Amino acid sequence: QKEVEQDPGPLSVPEGAIVSLNCTYSNSAFQYFMWYRQYSRKGPELLMYTYSSGNKEDGRFTAQVDKSSKYISLFIRDSQPSDSATYLCAMIKAAGNKLTFGGGTRVLVKP
Amino acid sequence: DADVTQTPRNRITKTGKRIMLECSQTKGHDRMYWYRQDPGLGLRLIYYSFDVKDINKGEISDGYSVSRQAQAKFSLSLESAIPNQTALYFCATSVSSGRVDEQFFGPGTRLTVL
């Protein structure tokens, strides 16, 4: 079993819809949780990161962490075609340690 | 100009050949990483280096080696390429801090081993 599970999609939504992405993980030692966005033929880029449980909002993006359920989510409001990309969750057990990635979810926002 | 560059961007090689992928960065970061990405498996860490004299194995280092020639350069070698090393390879950099490092990724090298 992988340490971090993520539905590969693709997830297709109409423009303006809310995109809901999630990851589950098995190791309760993870403390820092990140979301990366990867456009086709590009490297991943960090969108957001959160520490421990709770919510964090940045513009149209909201990240949620529920450590009791070992479940993290990313919501994209008012989705745009430019949000079409693969979204990867990643997590770390402690600052300075290595990232563990989920497999990524491909998102397609249709105009 | 890109902060993290990788060469070549695409490479096709044959089984048994030795090849090198190169990574350079102008961000002044001390930490560098090599990952491979396969469909559905996300990114998996091959090797990482926290400074010029520091080299560490990641989760899938077998069949690979690295060299940190300078703070700005980190190369990945496949000693004898095999078809299941066909993948997308990414170099990343970060700077050590008291918080979580943000890793900055290069554009990737698509490697095909026939």
**Residues A98, B58: C-beta atoms closer than 8 Å:** yes
Contacts of B44 in chain A (CB under 8 A): 101
B98/A99 Cβ within 8 A: no
Please say whether the beta carbons of B26 and B50 come within 8 A: no
**Both tokens of residue A66?**
């529920």
**How many separate helices (H) and strands (E) can be counted in chain B?**
0, 11
Length of chain B: 114
**B27 touches A at CB < 8 Å:** no
DSSP 8-state code for residue B101 = P
Residue with tokens 């050590």: B96
A8, A42, A95 member nearest B107 (Cβ):
A42
Residue range B5-60, pLDDT digits in tens: 999 999 999 999 999 999 999 999 999 999 999 987 889 999 999 999 999 999 99
**Amino acid at the residue B76:** L
pLDDT at A95: 64
Burial code of B26-59, b = ≥16 C-beta within 10 A, e = fewer?
eeebebbbbbbbeeebbbebbbbbbeeeebeebe
Instruction: Provide, as residue numbers in chain B, all residues whose Cβ is less than 8 Å from the Cβ of A98.
Output: 45, 48, 58
